[in-house]
Structure 1
């Protein structure tokens, strides 16, 4: 699951160019937009891809630092009074209902 949050150089490129592709081709479907971005990426030289590789590497390093801090209880910034899921503490009652339903299925 960790890999899901690590962005590749291609995804960094896509996040930068997707708005302009959507503006240039307003009727493009999501899949066709992705194909267009893939074509654009494949036409770039290695030196043109380098800035995106560097940005992706920095994002991976930041993610790794954040995960170490989070898992180790380090200095990971979190809003005081919020739960790990971002909701109120009172939401725990809903989780109990889900557990009861799971037991009924067994």
Structure 2
């Protein structure tokens, strides 16, 4: 079996007035026999996370799977301080930087 990293995105939504959707990105460690097996396990795990709760205002908040973004074998199975486990590449640094700046907003 091999370790994989799954990148999963969830949406927190509500019908409550003034509610702004919130998104969560999870990096999940999956042990599987193949990439296809890892994809299936990542989707199963993601579906288990779908739920709802009532926030402090009593509003119903739904947690919904948006997408399993990526599933890749980890880069190294030597788990030590500083070990790289996942890498992604992109061309549009401006879009990436814009996303990262938004994520620093207080939630």
Normalising to structure 1: TM-score of the pair? 0.23
**Which of the two has greater helix per residue?**
1
Whose radius of gyration is greater, 1 or 2? 1
Normalising to structure 2: TM-score of the pair? 0.23
**Which of the two has greater strand per residue?**
2
